[in-house]
Homo-oligomer: A and B are copies of this chain.
């Protein structure tokens, strides 16, 4: 075990696109756990779209990261030392300890991971927040019925790829929107999406989607927003349901972006749009994790990881996320299990 703890602290609030230079790599001493605490060594860091919001001081659902503070985020790691009666040395734990190699936890918002259920990295995606986001967003908000068409944007990401596969399990047709041929090949080939649209390759996302959704879009799980969502709205079926999960296309824009006004489509289609945060489903997490674990073990839900190797890669991995570099879940590997 090293006696140095590397941390990434936020040094500037990005204007527009997040930059690697918004973070500074800082050395500090590995902290000592006090009574009722344990020391966690980070194995994987999670890199997620919501992090852009935490870097800005725009009012949102959570406090922004302070300038000079360690960047927030979920990690999975190993308990190295423990004075805690529930978290023991050698156990695997998911915690929101942020971008650092070591951290001291008192158990708050920590979750033990059983490594028998699969690689521990999955606790940061398909068996963690992104998986739960897909599960509750699709089933509780989109509420798709058998035979219906479910469109998902950001379809090759950690959330979107899971949404499409759950839709398929629900006997729906999943149609994904993603940004490269490699991504659309993966979701239609390996994941069983009925169709996919590569938005970077289409002169009209609308026309291409329309072809793939002859009965309209009964449910839309939106991770992206912007022009992609503009293309989906006119195709909503009567009674269509939209889960507004993310708007990744908008997060790096400082000026309020403009686009066509689309609310009248909601009237004509009697459609419902609902924004959600996964925290609102906290008391149902266990239900979701049990079901997702079963689907993952039986191979009905597959996943893919894009792993940046080395703690120092974290800022670059975040930048890459907004450029669409990742396929599946973007992780940063910090140490060996």
Chain A positions within 8 Å of B, measured between CB atoms, are: 60-61, 222, 225-226, 229, 244-247, 250, 256-261, 263-277, 280
Interface of A is mostly: mixed
Q: Which residues of B contact A265 (CB under 8 A)?
A: 275
Q: How far is the CB of A225 from chain B (nearest CB, A)?
A: 5
Give the CA-CA distance A282 to B273 in the complex, in Å: 23
Q: Which residues of B contact A272 (CB under 8 A)?
A: 272-275
Q: Which residue of B lies closest to A234 (CB)?
A: B59
Give the CA-CA distance A264 to B272 in the complex, in Å: 15
The 6 closest A-B pairs by CB, nearest first: A266-B275, A267-B275, A273-B273, A256-B260, A272-B274, A247-B264
Q: Which residues of B contact A270 (CB under 8 A)?
A: 274-277, 280
Stoichiometry, as copies per complex, reads: 2
B61 touches A261 (CB 8 A): no
Q: Which residues of B contact A277 (CB under 8 A)?
A: 267-268, 270
B280 touches A267 (CB 8 A): no
Q: How far is the CB of A319 from chain B (nearest CB, A)?
A: 20
Give the CA-CA distance A225 to B266 in the complex, in Å: 12
Q: A226-B261, A272-B272 are in contact. List 16 more A-B contacts (CB 8 A).
A: A225-B261, A229-B263, A244-B263, A245-B267, A247-B264, A250-B264, A256-B260, A256-B261, A258-B260, A268-B275, A270-B280, A271-B275, A272-B274, A272-B275, A273-B273, A273-B274
